[in-house]
A and B are shown apart, each in its own frame.
Chain A
């Protein structure tokens, strides 16, 4: 009994399993885990399997009798239909742009906040706030209050300097969506990178300073290598969330003007066009994309995790 509590390792429970009542004990150990595990499999894995099955059928909900097996037909439709193919491209562009820009901005902000100055706590709070606005509310704020060509804040401020008065959403629709997402996700990146900065070894930096290293050299050769995994983690987690983005695209452009990404396309093709098979194939493609990102993400998380465990 005490053996199982000494360290969070599998070995003690192996020993427990060899005792006569070992099987019972093993199940008693597993029991608290089962409700959560079964619940997760039922609610997340089963629907995905169903999506996978539906994706092989030509199935429009308005013509249920015409449903038939079509193999990979839906996938070739998704990949050859210009609109759908465009949404694949939009998804990639949107994700990469938002993640990279917010990562760079987040790094700059994290470096600024890593120093002591008057009101640091207040600035930190101001910077986190955008992330804590309900995503739909944030998208509405940008769409109506900032971007509005006649009386939006952006054109209002441009008015003071005699600048042009562009119609942001119709001229640069994808950029408009991206800017609002960068505003929301930069604080996220900043928080992760700030945690990374604060976990640096101070002795090492002091030693480098004593040896006469410049700030840039310290940043380049000590800080950046240390931050690498935090940057990776921010990029991967950001990608996982932004690949799935629906709120901003739905609210700001309603998928119009070439901004429809895959999640919006999936939503539209079954909710409005009732193309169940096609929607499922597009959904499976999003999953494949996510799995590729997730494989890398899991690797980074597990390396950070193992470090934590071995340190403990």
Chain B
């Protein structure tokens, strides 16, 4: 009795210690974000103090400044551009990736693994590899500063990830179920809608969220190819790179508002996030 008690106790205290260490790590990693959120609700003069004023009065001035009611450029056009570019490109990705994933899993073509790996290899081609020709093309065809050019590029950026993810989700649909539907005389569209979609839908949703995140975050293409008309939210943020006097609360409000869609999408897709980020290699 006493012997087991002695053996168990150090384990338990060490377990509590490790749990505490995990909590500490979580807090340290989250601290910059918490501080950003707190600062965004401070007045500019309270935001710029040393030592930091943790308990200063809260105000919405930073947000009012950011949304342009206090003068300065309004972020709404940039937010709308980002929304259009991210949503439309995600939709295009799904429309292209679903049939491709079908031809790579449910009714596979010859050498389907080779095709799958070709898609993956295009993801490994860095953006700078084609940036200049794309810029020259856009300049000569009048596509510069046009949000639809970004839609096309974001579609190509996310298509490989989407094909990989969807391929793995469709492969999970049991073959027997599809065969049974075929024997019952169901045609392909019916099978896709009634049999495949319900099983693969959570995965498809996660794929969409991940594509949305990557499009929303993208800076290099947007910075080079857009100007005043088609600028996206990250490009709008680059306006804060050079310091403009006391503007910390405004920067924090802007960063937080523009990150909110990604935080929301990311937490929604939490379970499938790894699979998307590792291009389907890890489940």
Q: A50-B133, A122-B26, A287-B126 are in contact. Are A153 and B241 (CB under 8 A)?
A: no
Inter-subunit contact A130/B108 (CB<8 Å):
no
Residue of B nearest to A38 (CB): B96
Prevailing SS type, chain A contact patch: helix
B186 within 8 A of partner (CB): no
> A137 CA to B282 CA in the complex, in Å?
28
Which of A109, A279, A294 meets B121, CB within 8 Å?
A294
> A298 CA to B137 CA in the complex, in Å?
31
Nearest chain A CB to B2 CB, angstrom units:
21
Which of A44, A113, A137 meets B156, CB within 8 Å?
A44
> A266 CA to B124 CA in the complex, in Å?
17
> A144 CA to B29 CA in the complex, in Å?
18
Inter-subunit contact B108/A145 (CB<8 Å):
no
Inter-subunit contact A237/B133 (CB<8 Å):
no
Inter-subunit contact A36/B159 (CB<8 Å):
yes
Residues in A neighbouring B281, C-beta threshold 8 A:
233, 300-301, 304-305
Inter-subunit contact A271/B263 (CB<8 Å):
no
A75 within 8 A of partner (CB): no
B125 within 8 A of partner (CB): yes
Inter-subunit contact B26/A13 (CB<8 Å):
no
Q: Is the interface on chain B under 10, 10 to 19, 20 to 34, or 35 or more residues?
A: 35 or more
Prevailing SS type, chain B contact patch: helix
B49 within 8 A of partner (CB): yes
Residues in B neighbouring A230, C-beta threshold 8 A:
282
Inter-subunit contact A140/B99 (CB<8 Å):
no
> A256 CA to B107 CA in the complex, in Å?
53
Inter-subunit contact A153/B99 (CB<8 Å):
no
Inter-subunit contact A5/B179 (CB<8 Å):
yes
Inter-subunit contact A137/B258 (CB<8 Å):
yes
Residues in B neighbouring A33, C-beta threshold 8 A:
99-100, 103-104, 109, 115
Q: A48-B129, A270-B135, A298-B121 are in contact. Are A123 and B50 (CB under 8 A)?
A: no
Residues in A neighbouring B262, C-beta threshold 8 A:
132-134
Residues in B neighbouring A157, C-beta threshold 8 A:
52
Contact with A along B6-39 (1 / 0, CB 8 A): 0000000001101101110111011011011001
Residues in B neighbouring A246, C-beta threshold 8 A:
127, 219-220
Nearest chain A CB to B192 CB, angstrom units:
11
Residue of A nearest to B123 (CB): A240
Contact with B along A247-290 (1 / 0, CB 8 A): 10011001000000011001100110000100110111011001
Which of A143, A145, A279 meets B132, CB within 8 Å?
A279
12 sample A-B contacts, Cβ–Cβ < 8 Å, listed by A number: A7-B175, A8-B112, A10-B110, A36-B100, A36-B119, A43-B155, A48-B125, A132-B213, A159-B50, A195-B278, A251-B238, A254-B241
Further 16 A-B residue pairs, CB within 8 A, beyond A47-B130, A47-B134: A5-B107, A33-B103, A37-B100, A40-B156, A125-B270, A127-B25, A134-B216, A134-B217, A137-B258, A145-B32, A192-B278, A262-B128, A290-B125, A294-B121, A298-B117, A300-B281
